Amino acid sequence: MEELTELKQQLAQQRPDGWDKLPDIPLYMDQVVSYLSRQMISIGDGDALTSAMINNYIKDGLLERANGKKYGQEHLAYLTAITALKQVMSVREMKVLTTVGREMRSPDRQYAYFCSYLDQAMADAAAHIDEDTSDHDLPKLVLDLAMRSYANGLACHQALAILAQRTGHEDLLKKKK
């Protein structure tokens, strides 16, 4: 099936730029949004990052404020990670992960970890797609991928709660009143 072949190739080959390939000159907001639209595999417009979203991430403390009106490599690295993580985590959950990451590693090392885990996850997803799947078996493929996402999501949320508790950041998971 041609569409599955294309999807499998995207999952197997497309990756965001590594730290050393991120622009090393500061970018304005519109340049950031344009750059990030090319950083990740996207399917449809619904998962695109907008300037309003970036401003909200800053307000929520997930992302540092711009230097003046310009965003640097660290901003781009975090925003690349946020673009992927927002598909499966809330802002509060991402804040726990990034806060602990900041305490443990430099931004370039955090980003290297992110890219490494993303690479493995994309390769695993590609491996589960049989491009010769018939129309009759397509529902089975969809269900298989959905149930893997569900199980991984359950494990992720529980492991994140454990991480927050053990690092003293459980307050970040609580809703503000």
Per-residue pLDDT of the chain (177 residues; tens, 9 = 90+): 899 999 999 999 999 999 999 999 999 999 999 999 888 777 655 667 899 999 999 999 999 999 999 999 999 999 999 999 998 999 999 999 999 999 998 999 999 999 999 999 999 999 999 999 999 999 999 999 999 999 999 999 999 999 999 999 999 998 765
C-alpha span between 154 and 84 (Å, rounded): 17
pLDDT for 176 equals 67
C-alpha span between 100 and 50 (Å, rounded): 26
pLDDT for 41 equals 74
pLDDT for 39 equals 87
Which residues face 71 on adjacent strands? 27
C-alpha span between 128 and 97 (Å, rounded): 27
Domain count, the chain: 1
C-alpha span between 69 and 52 (Å, rounded): 14
pLDDT for 49 equals 85
- This prediction has a pTM of 0.90
pLDDT for 158 equals 97
pLDDT for 175 equals 76
**Domain extent for 94:** 2-173
